[in-house]
Chains A and B, each alone.
Chain A
Amino acid sequence: MTSETLVSTDLPPADEAEGVNDVVLTVENLQVQFQRAGRVVHAVKGVDFTVRRGRTLAIIGESGSGKSVSVRSLMGLLPPSARVTGSALLGETQLLGLPEPEMRRLRGKDIAMVFQNPATSLNPTMSIGAQLLEAIRMHSRMDKQAATARALELLALVRLRDPEMRLAQYPHQLSGGMRQRVVIAMALASDPAVLIADEATTALDVTTQAAIMELLCDLQDRLGMAIILISHDLALAASYADDVMVMRHGAVVEHVRPELLFDDDRQEYTKELLGAFSTLPTERRAPAAAEGVEPLLRVEGIVQEFVTRGAGGVRTGIVRAVNDVSFELRPGTTLGIVGETGSGKSTVARAVIQVERAKSGSVVFQGQELGALKRRALSKVYADMQMIYQDPFGSLNPRWRVSEVIAEPLRGHTTMTEKARSARVDELLDLVGLPPAEYRSRRPQELSGGQAQRVAIARAVSLEPALIICDEATSALDVLIQAQILDLLVTLQRDLGMAYLFIGHDLNVVRYISDDIAVMRHGDLVEYGRSEDVFTNPQHEYTQELLAAIPTAEPGTRRRR
């Protein structure tokens, strides 16, 4: 173990009022190494933990922390190039180094796993029933009838309505939350002692996430299995786990009970993870300064509809994605539009920027009705309206260099000389925290996600536009990087006076940066007001629901004890 691995000594007491028999899994000095292009990568550098019946262990970390690799090694699901050492005792059985045929007997039966992406975790070409039956009959000798009965039982257990109907349906016919319930049902088919949830709620909406976590807690109560919860969300862990382990760069940084997470003697890293969005940036100036000024952007009565198409482009109906949405944005302020998937928030952004002209309604920017402008005139407007996208790499041409990317708006909207542009590019790179000498000649492949997004920001800011639309601009980044990027955006706003239209699904993130907030649901604007008002005193029940669903870092809020 290197000097990075300062394990907190506050491990949960070994057998305080719980029998030692309650331990189902003991992991000691787990190490995993990969052979990658001739080099050895130490993905996991010595991890210890125990998991007990009816208890939940949360393993928290950012990407690259080794949390997923650790649990996959327990299931024997690592690629052949992996070398695993240490000990992992499931009851009497040593999991590491177990020959494959025996491992297969255990997988799904004694130890089961639920994965992150419900959209792709189920085989799209097999019915739900077929996949469920496969799980059930894998480890038992039930005939079809008995297995089907068991399948219905399981679906009822995970609170899926109309279980008979579900059996015949296919994954694409179910929502994300429903699919994840099916995956959980499959995992529980043979009553495993340990259930591993690998970022099982990360891809879900926050309200769905709350529902799935409730379900898992309930199931744990009823069936008594141990749960290992993998996530990047420390607040989630704090709310639902009995035991929290923080990993970073393959080593354990912290291992405590959730109640102790807020103590002062926690590691710096833990504090950083916890506090990422809990304090508002001190550099945000008071929105009151902009009172009484003519709004920069006024959106009224936006309606957007899409034609839904079924098999082979055959028209099946019309969906109203945005239903009569209106709001205002004053210069130099930030309006956050928050909503879950399908709320229409991104559609609104695209309607504002005229990429997809709204079916009806008006978008007035700097006094001009954008919907009435033709391509040429609209192009001139863009000198004052820019956008930052969700996918940091998708918004950069993979064949261009950083300097060309940033200079593009300067080329398109100004008559600056090559030399002037080059100087401006260097200025901008400094502004976003990327030393020009090192970064101007790089290509996107040579950048990390955070760096790529900084380049996108530099490009957006190059003409000092009046408005920048941030479409889920931080959603694809790790938590700590998100915080850095948001701070950068806030700083730039303070210095350059731009207004932001910030689209996001994460309430904490949106609150951090917004002066005003609009909450959207299924195409409707359900709540609209000052950021602090909406958060402390939500009027609409959906907003209340959303706020309630966010895992607060208060330990034990969700657990039934």
Chain B
Amino acid sequence: MAVTDTATTPTAALLTPATASDRSLRWARTRRRLLVWVPGGLVALIILICFLGPVVLPLPKPVGGSILESMLPPGSPGHALGTDVNGNDVLSRLLHGGRASLIVAISVNAIGIIVGGVLGALSGYLGGRADTVIMRLLDVLIAFPSLVLTIAIAQVLGPSLPNTIIAMCAFSIPSIARVARSAALRVVSMPFIQAAELAGTSRWRMLTRHIAPNVAPQLLNFAMLGMGIVIVTEGALSFLGLGIPAPAPSWGNMIYDGQQALTGAPLLVLWPSLALLVTVLSFNLLGENLRDEMSGR
């Protein structure tokens, strides 16, 4: 005859909802939702605009403008935000540049999570020799200041979009691997892993059903916060002429070009800067609030 558990919930005190508190309850919940959905919506909007905008809107091409049309102010016919020093449409360059930056950011993080995440999680799970070897190798890469390493690699490979992605993976993979490893180590020390061993769970199942699901949230969160960093680093690279090669637009090289006209037409620097700011801020807010949501649950 089995004994039935009498305790139903951990907290035993009586709960009495009061009317005034209902309002604060609803506000608290709405606020939490807003904090995730607003930046999330912004991110989605930015992605949408940058990827679909040039397809949908009748914009002039981002390159090959004529010098005769240079430095037109915003609001000029056919150029909603004006033109830059080379005569190219600013809005068009902004959108195409955004697309390039986002492609780089998404690719770098995706590769980072897949390669770095697997590497780090495996390293943490296997432990021992394998762990030491992998970590020592990654340590060499992490030892470099990220920008310096990226510059060095970009220089070797030459400026182009794919090369920029490769150059930045050199620091995203090790840093994500590190996070994955420490998360995996934490998971491995939990009793349920031992219980799984006792249950005869295969190594493969351990990794896929136990380790991965408990490591993934932290990875995704780290990658989300890393989006901002990657976008900024790509901007810096392009600013230095080592990233997306001119004349193809990137927010970074737009800022560099705009530098020349800083005194006369500061807007040329401000538009891409604003784009950078809003995008990075949205990603950061989204990442932070997603993390709070998930850990608060």
Give CA–CA (A459, B199) in the complex, Å: 9
A488, B3: Cβ atoms under 8 Å? yes
- CB neighbours of A394 from chain B (8 A): 190-192
Give CA–CA (A408, B190) in the complex, Å: 16
Most chain B C-beta atoms within 10 Å of own C-beta, residue among A38, A64, A353, A456:
A38
Q: Is B148 an interface residue (CB 8 A)?
A: no
Give CA–CA (A445, B195) in the complex, Å: 18
Interface digits, A344-383 against B, CB 8 Å rule (1 contact, 0 not)? 0000000001010000000000000000000000011011
- CB neighbours of B24 from chain A (8 A): 35, 38
B199, A35: Cβ atoms under 8 Å? no
A409, B198: Cβ atoms under 8 Å? yes
A41, B201: Cβ atoms under 8 Å? no
Give CA–CA (A500, B285) in the complex, Å: 52
Q: Is A449 an interface residue (CB 8 A)?
A: yes
Q: Is B263 an interface residue (CB 8 A)?
A: no
Interface residues on B, range: 35 or more
The closest CB in chain A to the CB of B198 belongs to: A382
B-contacting residues of A (Cβ < 8 Å)?
2, 35, 37-43, 64-66, 249-250, 353, 355, 379-380, 382-383, 385-387, 389-391, 394-400, 408-409, 411-413, 430-434, 445, 448-451, 454, 456, 459, 481, 484, 487-488, 491
- CB neighbours of A450 from chain B (8 A): 5, 7
Distance to closest chain B CB from A385 (angstroms): 7
A-contacting residues of B (Cβ < 8 Å)?
1-18, 21-26, 28, 190-192, 194-202, 209-210, 213-214, 297
B3, A40: Cβ atoms under 8 Å? no
Give CA–CA (A412, B196) in the complex, Å: 9
B198, A397: Cβ atoms under 8 Å? no
Give CA–CA (A37, B30) in the complex, Å: 12
A409, B200: Cβ atoms under 8 Å? yes
- CB neighbours of B198 from chain A (8 A): 353, 382, 385-387, 409
Give CA–CA (A385, B200) in the complex, Å: 11
The closest CB in chain B to the CB of A38 belongs to: B25
- CB neighbours of B209 from chain A (8 A): 397, 400
The closest CB in chain A to the CB of B9 belongs to: A448
* CB-contact partner of A395 in B9, B18, B195, under 8 A: B195
- CB neighbours of A387 from chain B (8 A): 194-195, 198
* CB-contact partner of B7 in A380, A386, A412, A451, under 8 A: A451
The closest CB in chain A to the CB of B6 belongs to: A484
Q: A38-B21, A38-B23, A448-B8 are in contact. List 12 more A-B contacts (CB 8 A).
A: A38-B26, A39-B25, A249-B14, A387-B198, A389-B195, A395-B190, A395-B192, A397-B192, A397-B214, A432-B2, A433-B5, A459-B199
Distance to closest chain A CB from B104 (angstroms): 32
Distance to closest chain A CB from B27 (angstroms): 8
The closest CB in chain A to the CB of B14 belongs to: A42
B192, A43: Cβ atoms under 8 Å? no
| Complex A-B, nearest 3 residue pairs according to Cβ-Cβ distance, in ascending order | A38-B25, A412-B200, A64-B12
B5, A451: Cβ atoms under 8 Å? yes
The closest CB in chain B to the CB of A445 belongs to: B297
B199, A40: Cβ atoms under 8 Å? no
* CB-contact partner of B2 in A66, A397, A408, A431, under 8 A: A431
The closest CB in chain B to the CB of A249 belongs to: B12
Give CA–CA (A66, B8) in the complex, Å: 18
Most chain A C-beta atoms within 10 Å of own C-beta, residue among B11, B12, B22, B196:
B12
